[in-house]
């Protein structure tokens, strides 16, 4: 059996599933979760249970008490970080449960991509097109990226309204995974001298664009990862990030938007280009014909 695997297609699918997960979760939260949160704890809830679940808002800076309803603009992440980031879309029931069922599409696609991307690195190195130091780095970063990617699922287990810090830790690991992918992917393009003449990108221009993208990505990712690590350590973000760039836009939100551009939207476009113009891997699968003695003493093949 011979199978053609377009490696970058799996990366494209990963980013597609991530964006679609955000869109679906946002709509579910607006339609179903927001009305439930707005009314507060159900009528007749015993006083000792008013602070259970999402309504544990004692001493809130929004003036909310235990059991009080709140809007999405008063979410737990809004209170902690100064704005409601992407995770707000799946923090509350029923959005969290529904998106947890959709999430495997994202997780499996990135794991499949990382696996076949490492195979590509290995074959390219064996052909002498990659230096020893790159392949050594690839062997170290590959399992790390796999581990961090599959631990992103913990955002559905470590709930934001129960513990913002542990919830954010899962997202922090995912950010590192995306940076690893960006670094390895860009360096592969530069080191192998790839070009795309069909869209007017020769080797030199492709290398320049790749390097500019990587430098910009590393700058914004450093800021984003620092802010996220600060949140994991303290439960909030630096005070500067809670101030306004302009009315209605805080620094934390602006940084998050730029980070999404360089780690989701642009990589989606890059993966789209690469999967269109690059040759796929050819995977050949075979199995030996193991035989066994049948009841009449004849050898019967297990492969038909």
Confirm whether 118 is domain-assigned. yes
Confirm whether 205 is domain-assigned. yes
Confirm whether 71 is domain-assigned. no
Confirm whether 290 is domain-assigned. no
pLDDT confidence of residue 299? 52
pTM for this prediction = 0.87
pLDDT confidence of residue 293? 56
pLDDT confidence of residue 175? 95
Range of the domain at 186: 2-29+93-285
Confirm whether 251 is domain-assigned. yes
Confirm whether 48 is domain-assigned. no
pLDDT confidence of residue 82? 79
SS3 labels along the chain: CEEEECHHHHHHHHHHHHHHHHHHHHHHHHHHHHHHHHHCCCCCCCHHHCCCHHHCCCCCCCCCCCCCCCCHHHCHHHHHHCCCCHHHHHCCCCHHHHHHHHHHHHHHHHHHHHHHHHHHHHHHHHCCCCCHHHHHHHHHHHHHHHHHHHHHHHHHCCCCCCCHHHHHHHHHHHHHHHHHHHHHHHHHHHHCCCCEHHHCECHHHHHHHHHHHHHHHHHHHHHHHHHHHHHHHHCCCCHHHHCEEECCEEHHHHHHHHHHHHHHHHHHHHHHHHHHHCCCEEEECCCCCCEEECCCCCEEECCC
Number of domains in the chain: 1
Confirm whether 247 is domain-assigned. yes
Confirm whether 292 is domain-assigned. no
What pLDDT tens digit does each residue of the chain (304 aa) get? 999 999 999 999 999 999 999 999 999 999 999 999 999 988 888 988 888 888 888 778 888 889 999 998 888 888 888 777 788 889 999 999 999 999 999 999 999 999 999 999 999 999 999 999 999 999 999 999 999 999 999 999 999 888 889 999 999 999 999 999 999 999 999 999 999 999 999 999 999 999 999 999 999 999 999 999 999 999 888 888 888 888 878 898 899 999 999 999 999 999 999 999 999 999 999 888 775 555 555 555 544 4
């Amino acid at each position: 059996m011979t199978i053609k695997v377009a490696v970058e297609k799996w990366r494209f699918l990963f980013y597609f599933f991530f964006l679609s997960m955000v869109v679906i979760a946002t709509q579910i939260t607006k339609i179903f979760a927001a009305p439930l949160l707005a009314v507060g704890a159900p009528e007749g809830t015993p006083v000792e249970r008013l602070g259970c679940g999402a309504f544990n808002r004692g001493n809130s800076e929004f003036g909310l008490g235990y059991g009080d309803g709140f809007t999405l603009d008063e979410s737990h992440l809004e209170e902690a970080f100064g704005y409601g980031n992407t995770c707000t879309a799946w923090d509350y029931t029923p959005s969290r449960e529904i998106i947890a069922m959709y999430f495997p599409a994202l997780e499996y696609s990135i794991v499949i991509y990382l696996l076949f991307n490492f195979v590509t690195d290995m074959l390219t190195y064996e052909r002498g097109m990659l230096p020893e130091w790159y392949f050594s780095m690839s062997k170290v970063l590959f399992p790390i990226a796999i581990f961090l990617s599959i631990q992103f699922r913990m955002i559905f287990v470590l709930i934001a309204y129960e513990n913002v810090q542990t919830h954010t830790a899962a997202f922090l690991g995912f950010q590192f995974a995306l940076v690893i992918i960006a670094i390895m992917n860009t360096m592969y393009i530069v080191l192998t001298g790839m070009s795309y003449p069909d869209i007017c990108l020769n080797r030199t221009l492709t290398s320049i664009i790749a390097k500019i993208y990587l430098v910009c990505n590393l700058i914004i990712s450093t800021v984003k990862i620092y802010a996220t690590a600060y949140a994991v350590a303290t439960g909030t973000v630096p005070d500067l990030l809670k101030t306004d760039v302009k009315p209605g836009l805080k620094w934390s939100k602006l940084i998050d938007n730029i980070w999404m551009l360089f780690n989701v939207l642009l990589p989606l476009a890059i993966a789209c280009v690469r999967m269109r113009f690059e040759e796929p891997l050819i995977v050949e699968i075979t199995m030996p014909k193991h035989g066994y003695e049948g009841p009449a003493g004849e050898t019967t093949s297990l492969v038909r």
